[in-house]
Amino acid sequence: MQDYIEQIQKMFQNYATNWNKQIYLDQELAESVAEPIQAKPAVQKNIPKRKRLPAQQGPELQEYLLEIQDCQKCALSETRKNFVFGYGNPQAKLMFIGEAPGKDEDEQGIPFVGRAGQLLDKMLVVIGLNRDDVFIANMLKCRPPQNRDPLPDEILKCEPYLLRQLELIKPKVLCALGRVAGQNLLKKEDALSLLRESEHSYNNIPVIVTYHPAALLRNPRWKQNSWQDLKKIKNLLQNS
């Protein structure tokens, strides 16, 4: 009997959706439904969505996003779901830079929204900050298939976007998250251990290279080393 009721409910739900009506079942069936079935809003197809950042992102970043979000410079534009511009404070003193969007970021159009992003939020708390205090972006604005490493040509075509973001935000400190981001940002092939221990700058902005939060999730024993990197960032911010 219950299966029959569920079939009837589904039939009425489909009717409500297709004909944009509010449907009430007869008394017997209505007792099994907590609320009247509402028609789902019509979905417009084949209309490109113009992404806009939250108002606190600043009008200049808003304008720049709208200028570049339909980028077709490389093949990644053919496979992406969303152009992941970045997110955060338009006047941030600290800017985090990852390598490229992952699956969750490609789905939502926001950087670091999965488990790695949750860990990054906790790392920020350690140095007295939160996500609204910093700006988070990636070397690439589009997800590489299967999360492969960015190709040199992709970095070359996408890096001007990062440079323009730096001009608009004017951060005092940069933090490269992970080996791939550090190597591509600094144009070096050093191992992560050496990148972490050395002093760097990018366009005259000091750079700290640390572990990608996803790596810390896989290897929690590295969190102590990550704490040392966070302290370097905190000291740089205090002296900036």
Residue type, 226: S
pLDDT over 80 at 195, yes or no: yes
Average pLDDT, the chain: 83
**How confident is the model over 182-205, as a mean pLDDT?**
95
Nearest CA to 208 among 189, 190, 233, 183? 233
pLDDT over 50 at 84, yes or no: yes
Per-residue pLDDT tens digits for 104-121: 999 999 999 989 999 999
Q: Would you call 95 helix, strand, or coil by DSSP?
A: strand
Quote the pLDDT of residue 10: 54
Per-residue pLDDT tens digits for 27-40: 443 343 333 334 44
Quote the pLDDT of residue 9: 53
pLDDT band at 3 (very low <50, low <70, confident <90, very high): low
pLDDT over 60 at 99, yes or no: yes
**How confident is the model over 123-136, as a mean pLDDT?**
95
> Is the model more confident about 197 or about 27?
197
Quote the pLDDT of residue 49: 45
> Do β-strands 135-138 and 94-98 pair in parallel, antiparallel, or remain unpaired?
parallel
Phi then psi for residue 209, to 5 deg, are -105, 130
pLDDT band at 189 (very low <50, low <70, confident <90, very high): very high
Specify the range with the lowest mean pLDDT, choosing from 5-14, 52-61, 64-73, 129-138: 5-14
Tokens describing residue 42: 């019509």
SS (H, E, C) 203-238: CCEEEEEECCHHHHHHCHHHHHHHHHHHHHHHHHHH
Tally helices (H) and strands (E) across the chain: 10, 6
**How confident is the model over 31-56, as a mean pLDDT?**
42
Per-residue pLDDT tens digits for 203-236: 999 999 999 999 999 999 999 999 999 999 999 9
Quote the pLDDT of residue 170: 97
Is 140 in contact with 99 (CB distance < 8 Å)? yes
For residues 156 and 104, what is the distance between their CA atoms, to the nearest angstrom?
Answer: 24
